[in-house]
A and B are shown apart, each in its own frame.
Chain A
């Protein structure tokens, strides 16, 4: 399995993601946003940061960068696409995931560890966790307030597309949504940062099972 971490101008978690993936023995490399081909990769990661300064809206400019047509192609081919934080925002702007991330209900940047509940563990992104398990994962965002209209929310719930919910909703997200996937189950986005919780030295390893889940999903597909 070969993975790509997309580096947009303004990404700042690209090397954290690269490090975490390497930690799990994954053959991974950085691919820049000006590239336009991802055919050789099986999984694609959109990291956190402030792509293109997050001007206009978070992810709004990044969504039109050359690499995004390759990301969309990969998504349509059923490859795994993972967006964390800014990556999640870009995936919603690109229409690869429904909804939008708005300014936090209490405006301001939140940087802390928060409890997440695993509400669907039958996914490529959470199968190494137990159902309803509570994990602690860091968040670091000013625009993480998940919004979608009633119709989309009902659809998300009925199809079990919500994977992680906040235990103590920090940003006003509807239905406490912290992470969702598309209906097909190959595109996933979350605001919290599992890549910052993989090493004992950082005091938190609750993100490890996120990467183990992705690995086992890939191995099962092969």
Chain B
């Protein structure tokens, strides 16, 4: 079984108001060196696939179909082989 860790962020051209608000809060908390904050989304998806290439194309397919909106978001992901969980 594969574990996909998928990181979704706004494209650089998109204003990220939540990131901006967090940044201004951090500034108020005297973290003066903060330059930029981007808020994104993180997904962990476990899937069965016969090999890493199949897993990779599957992740790409469902991420673009549902997890992101391509108008404004982009993504990257890491794949790793994990042991199947023992059924209870």
Contacts and interface: CB of A to CB of B under 8 A. Distances in A.
Interface of A: 56-57, 60, 64, 93, 99-100, 102-107, 145, 147-149, 172
Contacts of A106: 17
A99 B18 contact: no
A147 B17 CA distance: 13
Given A107-B21, A147-B72, A102 B14 contact: yes
B61 interface: no
B71 A149 contact: yes
A57 B71 contact: no
A47 to B, nearest CB: 21
A64 to B, nearest CB: 7
Contact of B15 (A57, A64, A149, A172): A172
Contacts of A102: 14, 17, 72
B80 interface: no
A106 B71 CA distance: 20
B4 interface: no
B55 interface: no
A95 to B, nearest CB: 10
B66 interface: yes
7 tightest A-B CB contacts, nearest first: A100-B71, A107-B17, A103-B17, A100-B69, A105-B17, A107-B18, A107-B21
* From A64, A105, A107, A148, residue with most partner B Cβ within 10 Å: A107
Contact of B66 (A64, A104, A107): A64
A104 B72 contact: no
A149 B73 CA distance: 12
Interface in B13-49: 14-15, 17-18, 21, 41
A44 B41 CA distance: 33
A152 to B, nearest CB: 8
Interface in B65-86: 66-67, 69, 71-72
Contacts of A57: 69
A133 to B, nearest CB: 31
Contacts of A148: 71
A99 B15 contact: no
